[in-house]
Structure 1
Amino acid sequence: MENHYFIACTLSEEAKDQLHNIRRKYLTHDCFMKYPHQNDLHVTLSFLGAVTAQQLKIICDELSEKLMNLQQFPLTFKHISTFGSEESPRVWWTGPAESKELTALYETVQSAVSKIHKNENRPFRPHVTLAKKWKGEKGEVFKGSIEPVSDWIKYVTIYEINPGQIPLYTNFASYKLKESGENHGTVN
């Protein structure tokens, strides 16, 4: 069986701490079945699913080349919302303010994964999942503005999904985005 992977913006430990605290502050009752581990918080750029070792190598090579000249950028999370119906939302998430740098990064990653025909068909809705899988119990979840959580996006990471483990995701390969005057590097 092939392993499953996805590509995401890596968040700093400070941002993960702040988002974990936001979750505790605004989620006042236990109405979801899954709460991602703090270390699993990220912004997905592309879900790859099952890929072969050869496909993974192609993606790694493409990302090394395509991310080489992209610079680190700020990202600020300002609101909480849901995906799914009002009565039983599938996902409770926080989203960043609009960012042309994040959109450009997403498009760059989509260009890389197109080499193995794994493009995303849905519109890009950048977010960090705070909880998912509604239990079916009555109750409302907070949606609206939150105190801003700011971070610098410095790395793009290919994560491997490890069902049954906590944290659920492990770093397969990371690509450091360029600082002003810095050369690009790959961290593994």
Structure 2
Amino acid sequence: MTNTGRSLRADAQENQDRILEAAARAFSRQGADTSLKAIAKEAGVGIATLYRRFPAREDLVEATYRSETERLAGSAADLLAERPPDAALRAWAERFVDYMLTKNGMAEALPGILAAREGLRTHSRDLLRAAIERMLTAAAEAGTLRADVPADDVMMAIGGVTLIAGHEDQRELASRLLDLVVAGLRPC
């Protein structure tokens, strides 16, 4: 990837953010082989702008994966500020399904990227685990969810829901299953 660690100018950062958002939507709908020209158009930038920041398709897929993972993990704090902790976890689980839809759209490209970028998979899991742990801890302190369930178990349960109902046409089923997961976390 071309990210050198330097911060971007405000307009360049805005363009990059729009590209990553458009790429996430496109990958979710059409997969990682979607037209880069269409992504640039949806983002409101020229194709040269996209290629300047992401010279190879794999760079865009990786950056989208990183961005979506960071966005999902970061949303836990916002949800906890807006809702009771158990409701925050439930809302976050819906966002996790959306995240997995995007990730599934990149499924063909991701294994090679994850294998080539050492630590990327672990870093992503750690971010998501920490977000879940934060919500579980807050909910346990509030007395709304059990304190004895590890974040990894919750992540696996939510991930299992996406394996069963991780398609856009199965959102209602996914929501019902997420309700069951959260109900299973309530104190007896």
**Which TM-score bucket, shorter chain as reference?**
under 0.3
TM-score, reference length from structure 2: 0.24
Q: State the TM-score, normalizing by the size of structure 1.
A: 0.24
Q: Which has the higher contact order (CA 8 A, sep 6+)?
A: 1
Of Structure 1 and Structure 2, the greater strand share is in 1
Higher-Rg structure is 2
